[in-house]
Amino acid sequence: MVLGFLDWVFRSPLTFLFAVFALWMLIDAVRRKEWLWALFIGATGFGAIWYFFYVYRGSPEAMRGFELPGAHDRRRIKELQAQIHHLDKAHHHFQLGDIYFQQGKLEKAEACYRAAIERDPEDIDIRAHLGQCLLRLKRPAEARPLLEGVCRENPKHDYGYSLMALAETVAALGEIDNAIAVWEQVLNQHSYARARYQLAELYAGKGKTDVARQQVDELLSDDLHAPGFQRKRDRVWVRRAKRLRRKLE
């Protein structure tokens, strides 16, 4: 019976491809410890399609490379919603906002951050993450005062992520020279691929191809020697850097 099934699978190209896809989703579900999904995929096969759209895709493409520190989890959302209902603390709203941000649900994230800032307007983390959220919502003018205030207080906040968000905000407002200065400040402290690529892009736009090429080459060199988790995180910037490098030749 098993041999007959396998023979049927291998004789139908579409069936074979779907079987490979289902196995891929099953392995991913096991790695994420999504046991119910794994059972669903294993039992029906077609559960792989639902899993792909509801779990595997995770953050939308627009959010990749812009992650905040921390991970998201559906069980954690329920826990935080219960804590907000009973305790209504600023940090619960803030943590829920971070999860929604990571999922790309920016309007929900903004609502959570604003609820958090109402309860604790002085918290630097809340102000920083609200600023980042407003930037991703394409409202850089609103994001700027929040991020500037955070970076004045602590230029190293969130390991340089707030400073990177400020650089992107200033660039979005058309202040290219100021954005370059902020990116240079970031790279004096860190070697983020996100920073190197965007600085290279700004230099290329100003016609400074040699400086742009130098930044791209450093990014690609760093990627060759980076650990696996970092290469996975930075791959969106590496892909863009390779395209930019070809244009600069």
pLDDT digits (tens, 9 = 90+) for 201-227: 999 999 999 999 999 999 999 999 999
Domain count for the chain: 1
More confident residue, 96 or 69: 96
Q: Is residue 249 part of a domain?
A: no
Q: Average pLDDT of 73-84?
A: 85
**What confidence score (pLDDT) does residue 113 get?**
98
pLDDT of 32 higher than 70? no
Q: Domain limits at 30?
A: 2-58
Q: Is residue 71 part of a domain?
A: no
CA distance 147 to 140: 10
Rounded to the nearest angstrom, the gap between the alpha carbon of residue 6 and the centroid of all alpha carbons in its chain is: 40
More confident residue, 209 or 57: 209
pLDDT of 111 higher than 90? yes
More confident residue, 52 or 137: 137
Q: How many other CB atoms sit within 10 Å of the CB of residue 207? A: 8
What pLDDT band is residue 39 in, cutting at 50, 70 and 90?
confident
Q: Is residue 75 part of a domain?
A: no
The answer to whether the beta carbons of residues 248 and 205 sit under 8 Å apart is no
CA distance 138 to 112: 18
B/e letters for 112-146, b = 16+ CB within 10 Å, e = fewer, are bbebbbeeeeebebbbbbbbbbbbbeeebeebbeb
Q: What is the mean pLDDT of the chain?
A: 86
pLDDT digits (tens, 9 = 90+) for 165-208: 999 999 999 999 999 999 999 999 999 999 999 999 999 999 99
For the chain, count helices (H), then strands (E): 14, 0
**What confidence score (pLDDT) does residue 65 get?**
54
Type of residue found at 61: E
CA distance 182 to 99: 27
Q: Is residue 90 part of a domain?
A: no
pLDDT of 29 higher than 50? yes
Question: For the whole model, what pTM was predicted?
Answer: 0.72
Q: Is residue 35 part of a domain?
A: yes
Type of residue found at 100: Y
pLDDT of 70 higher than 80? no
**What confidence score (pLDDT) does residue 5 get?**
45
Q: Average pLDDT of 44-63?
A: 64
User: What burial class does residue 71 get, using C-beta atoms within 10 Å of its C-beta: 0-12 exposed, 13-18 middle, 19+ buried?
Assistant: exposed
Longest distance between any two alpha carbons in the chain, whole Å: 69
CA distances from 249 to 72, 206, 209, 238 (A): 40, 16, 9, 17
Share of the chain above pLDDT 90, in %: 63
Q: Is residue 16 part of a domain?
A: yes
Q: Is residue 36 part of a domain?
A: yes
Q: Is residue 32 part of a domain?
A: yes
